[in-house]
Structures are given as structure tokens and as C-alpha cells.
């Protein structure tokens, strides 16, 4: 019986000793003892944080090392240039906003933070006055606080020439780029937060191929000029402040080839562009299933909207304060509610696309009336005014060359070819309606 107990005890110790030994290993001492340029690969297990790295070395967890800060401070601080941390699991940062408690704080240049998993952290990766760093393929999850008091998934402050790519951020507050220029933010997945991306006083940044979904706001620019936003997918920016892409006093911005779907407002423009003699350019974007496709805060100018698609929106364009959007340039957009034809087959409508507003703009001018938007009484009032106008309608915008939808072309009878099991009539009448309907002679 004694021998059996001894064997059982040995087995239990054998299972738990690797993790227990790793918990008490002095990881900070291992890093302090390493030389510049060394590769530090701790044995698998759980290590205690916080950790400070102050020399250019590589810390590689090989996917088997966890650093747990126990709810105190920042898990890893990079106070150096040229270091790399990768393949680590970082858990349980502190919760102090004043200290910017994070998974990783970067306080240097030319560092690499990649392929890490950050769980239950306040801020994910926080860069301050740090340039030419790479933050790539990290998975970041925030503390389970209410949205306003969570930390930011990735935060740049006075940081230039950084590459933020291929990260997955879920449940953080925002991703922030403030006072930071010439950064690349590409192919990230950002979900279940407040602002997907929030720029402030940040110029010359590239935002490309990000997937931003189920946030209050997709991308918002404040006082940020010369930003390029292209090939992003922004979905479900809903709620009272929901918008896909918003701008406040931002100039010379290019927004192209983005898909903005299921948003309260697709694009929101507040005194943008702001700088004289500048233009904001919107090319080939799709705005679909939104409450309002494009909303202007006031009667502003300097925006060019060309070759965009407006589909299945409740309202295509809205302007507050009784103003119009006709001082902007609208050129060759596709509007799914265009009622014209293309008789000369040049893929352009035969007459301009106009948005004229009658009584239905009451909800634009009186915010509380928006509650009744789409209601029978407002619809009836608008119908009566269109039928027998008692006020001059307001021309909100004119697109002189609206694009026609050429995605489907019915084959001509002379061009249809019979295929096995389908005659020429079936090609032209795919639902078989002609066979179901009896023609009367």
C-alpha cells in the first residue's frame, strides 16, 4: 500500500512539476544575463511578469511560453531598439489607464512584435514616440470592461513609419493613431469595439485591406490630411453614432474601392476638406444597406464622388440645416433608384440623376422627426407635395452621367444556343413563366 501511494505521488508530481518549475523561473534574470543579439528561448511553461527588455535580443516563446503579469502593470516593456518578441502568450496586464497598462509597450525603434496572443490586457500594443516598428499577426483581447473604459487594441502616439499588419483585435475599445505619420495599417481584423480606427492630427497614413466589423464607427479621421483609405471592408457600423467612414476637418483624403455595408451612415463629412484648394476623392466605393449613404453636416464643397455604387440604402444622401450637396462633384456613380434608360447603350443614363427633396427632408432638419422617417404620415405628406407641390423642391445633388448596371444582360433570341436539357426559350425565360401562363389569342 505504501508503494502504491508513493507511485501515485510520483505520477502527480511528474504531471505538475513542469508548469510549477516554469512559474518560479526568473525570466527577467534570463533576459538580463543574455547578450545583445542573443536568442532567448525559455523552457515551456508559465512565467511571471512584468518583464523589461532593454537590449536588442530575440525572445521566442515557440508558442509554449506564457507570461502572466497577475493583473499588475505592463506585461512586456521594450525599452530598446532592434528587439523581437514572438510566439508568446501574454496574460493579465494591469488595469490602470494612467500607466497605460498593456500587453506590450514599445519605447524604441526598429522593434518587432509578432505572432503573440494577448489575453485579458487593458491596452494591447502601445507605441509612444517609437518609429519603424513592426506589429504583425498578433491576437489581442481586452479586459471584459464596459466599452468606454477598455483600453485600445493598438495605440500609436507620436510614432512614425510603423507597419501594423495582419493583427486580429476583438473586443478592445479603439485602434488609435494620434499625432503619428507615415504608418501602414494593413490587413487587420478589428471587431466588437467602439472605433475600428481613430486618427487625430495624423497625416500621410495608409489604411488598406482591413476587415472592420461590428464596431460603432469603422474609420474616423479628425484633423488628419493626406490619408489613403482603400480596399477595406466595413460592416455593421450601427447605433446612434454608427458610421462607416467619417471625417472632421480632414483634407486631401483618398477613399477608394472600399465596401461599406449595413451602417447607419456610410460616409459622414464634417467641414471636409478643410484646407483651401484641396479635394477629398471618393472612387469606386460600394455603399449598401445603410440608413444614409453619404451624410454632410452642412453645405460644404470640395468632395469628388465618382464611380461609386449606391445600392439598397434607405436614403442615398442627406444634408443637414436645409442645405444641399450640389457644390460637390458627382460623376458617373451608380444609383439603384435611377429611373432613366440607356438607349444608346453607352452604360450611362440618358438624363441626369437628381435628388430633389420635398417634405421628406423634415427629418433632416428636425432631428426628433427622424423617429417618423419612413412612417405612413411622412410618406403620405411627401407624396402629396410631389403630386401637387406647394413649395419649390430643393435640388440636393445632380449626377450628370449616372452609370447603368451592366452586370446582367439577357441573351437575345438569335444569340441563344440550346444546351442539353434546355432549349433556347429556357435560356431567355429561366423561370419558365411562358410555360405557366396561357396566352390568349
Rounded to an integer, the average pLDDT of 259-275 is 97
Predicted confidence at residue 265, as pLDDT, reads: 96
Predicted confidence at residue 412, as pLDDT, reads: 52
**Which of 25-34, 217-226, 322-331, 419-428 is least confident?**
419-428
- Residue 369's φ and ψ, nearest 5 degrees, are -70, -15
Q: Name which of 278, 217, 223, 281 is nearest 255 in CA terms.
A: 281
In this predicted structure, the answer to whether residue 292 has a pLDDT above a threshold of 90 is: yes
Query: Cell digits for 277?
Result: 484648394
Predicted confidence at residue 362, as pLDDT, reads: 63
CA–CA distance from 398 to each of 295, 308, 336, 352, 401 (Å)? 15, 14, 15, 6, 9
Predicted confidence at residue 38, as pLDDT, reads: 96
Comparing 241 with 156, which gets the higher pLDDT?
Answer: 156
In this predicted structure, the answer to whether residue 273 has a pLDDT above a threshold of 50 is: yes
Rounded to an integer, the average pLDDT of 248-260 is 98
Whether 218 contacts 212, CB under 8 Å = yes
Q: pLDDT tens, 387-420?
A: 766 667 788 899 999 999 866 554 454 544 444 4
Comparing 24 with 51, which gets the higher pLDDT?
Answer: 51
Predicted confidence at residue 376, as pLDDT, reads: 80
**Which of 43-47, 91-95, 365-369 is least confident?**
365-369
Confidence of residue 25 (pLDDT cuts 50, 70, 90): low
Predicted confidence at residue 52, as pLDDT, reads: 98
Q: pLDDT tens, 81-91?
A: 999 999 999 99
Predicted confidence at residue 283, as pLDDT, reads: 98
Beta strands in 137-258 (DSSP E): 139-142, 154-157, 163-165, 168-170, 174-178, 184-186, 189-191, 195-200, 206-208, 211-213, 217-222, 228-230, 233-235, 243-248, 254-256
* 387 CB neighbour count, 10 Å cutoff: 8
> Max Cα separation, the chain?
104
Residues recorded for the chain = 441
Rounded to an integer, the average pLDDT of 85-110 is 97
Predicted confidence at residue 409, as pLDDT, reads: 53
In this predicted structure, the answer to whether residue 323 has a pLDDT above a threshold of 50 is: yes
Residues 6+ apart with CB under 8 A from 332: 306, 307, 348, 399, 401, 402, 403
Percent of the chain with pLDDT strictly greater than 90: 72
- Residue 287's φ and ψ, nearest 5 degrees, are -120, 110
Q: Which domains does the chain have, with CATH numbers?
A: 21-193 (2.160.20), 413-441 (no CATH)
Amino acid at each position: 500500500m505504501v508503494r502504491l501511494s508513493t507511485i501515485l505521488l510520483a505520477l502527480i508530481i511528474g504531471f505538475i512539476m513542469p508548469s510549477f518549475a516554469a512559474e518560479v523561473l526568473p525570466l527577467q534574470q534570463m533576459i538580463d544575463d543574455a547578450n545583445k543579439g542573443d536568442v532567448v528561448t525559455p523552457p515551456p511553461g508559465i512565467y511571471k511578469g512584468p518583464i523589461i527588455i532593454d537590449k536588442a535580443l530575440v525572445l521566442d516563446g515557440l508558442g509554449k511560453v506564457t507570461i502572466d503579469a497577475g493583473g499588475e502593470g505592463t506585461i512586456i516593456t521594450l525599452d530598446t531598439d532592434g528587439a523581437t518578441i514572438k510566439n508568446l502568450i501574454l496574460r493579465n496586464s494591469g488595469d490602470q489607464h494612467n500607466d497605460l497598462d498593456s500587453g506590450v509597450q514599445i519605447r524604441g525603434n526598429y522593434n518587432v512584435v509578432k505572432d503573440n496572443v494577448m489575453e485579458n490586457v487593458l491596452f494591447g500594443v502601445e507605441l509612444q514616440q517609437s518609429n519603424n516598428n513592426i506589429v504583425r499577426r498578433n491576437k489581442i483581447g481586452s479586459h471584459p470592461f464596459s466599452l468606454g473604459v477598455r483600453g485600445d487594441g493598438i495605440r500609436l502616439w507620436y510614432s512614425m513609419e510603423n507597419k501594423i499588419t495582419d493583427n486580429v483585435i476583438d473586443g478592445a475599445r479603439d485602434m488609435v493613431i494620434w499625432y503619428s505619420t507615415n504608418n501602414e495599417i494593413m490587413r487587420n481584423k478589428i471587431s466588437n469595439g467602439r472605433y475600428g480606427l481613430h486618427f487625430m492630427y495624423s497625416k500621410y497614413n495608409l489604411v488598406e485591406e482591413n476587415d472592420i466589423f461590428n464596431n460603432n464607427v469603422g474609420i474616423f479621421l479628425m484633423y488628419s490630411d493626406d490619408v489613403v483609405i482603400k480596399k477595406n471592408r466595413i460592416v455593421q457600423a450601427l447605433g446612434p453614432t454608427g458610421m462607416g467612414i467619417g471625417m472632421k476637418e480632414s483634407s486631401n483624403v483618398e477613399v477608394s474601392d472600399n465596401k461599406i455595408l449595413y451602417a447607419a451612415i456610410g460616409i459622414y463629412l464634417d467641414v471636409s476638406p478643410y484646407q483651401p484648394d484641396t479635394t477629398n476623392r471618393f472612387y469606386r466605393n460600394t455603399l449598401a444597406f445603410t440608413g444614409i449613404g453619404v451624410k454632410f453636416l452642412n453645405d460644404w464643397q470640395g468632395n469628388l464622388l465618382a464611380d461609386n455604387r449606391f445600392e439598397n440604402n434607405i436614403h442615398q444622401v442627406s444634408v443637414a440645416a436645409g442645405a444641399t450637396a450640389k457644390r460637390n462633384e458627382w460623376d458617373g456613380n451608380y444609383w439603384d433608384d435611377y429611373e432613366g434608360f440607356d438607349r444608346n447603350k453607352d452604360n450611362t443614363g440618358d438624363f441626369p440623376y437628381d435628388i430633389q427633396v420635398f417634405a421628406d427632408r423634415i427629418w433632416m432638419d428636425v432631428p426628433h422627426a427622424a423617429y417618423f422617417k419612413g412612417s405612413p404620415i411622412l410618406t403620405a405628406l411627401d407624396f402629396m407635395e410631389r403630386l401637387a407641390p406647394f413649395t419649390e423642391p430643393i435640388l440636393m445633388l445632380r449626377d450628370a452621367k449616372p452609370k447603368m448596371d451592366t452586370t446582367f444582360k439577357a441573351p437575345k433570341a438569335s444569340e441563344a444556343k440550346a444546351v442539353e436539357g434546355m432549349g433556347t426559350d429556357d435560356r431567355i425565360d429561366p423561370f419558365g413563366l411562358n410555360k405557366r401562363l396561357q396566352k390568349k389569342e
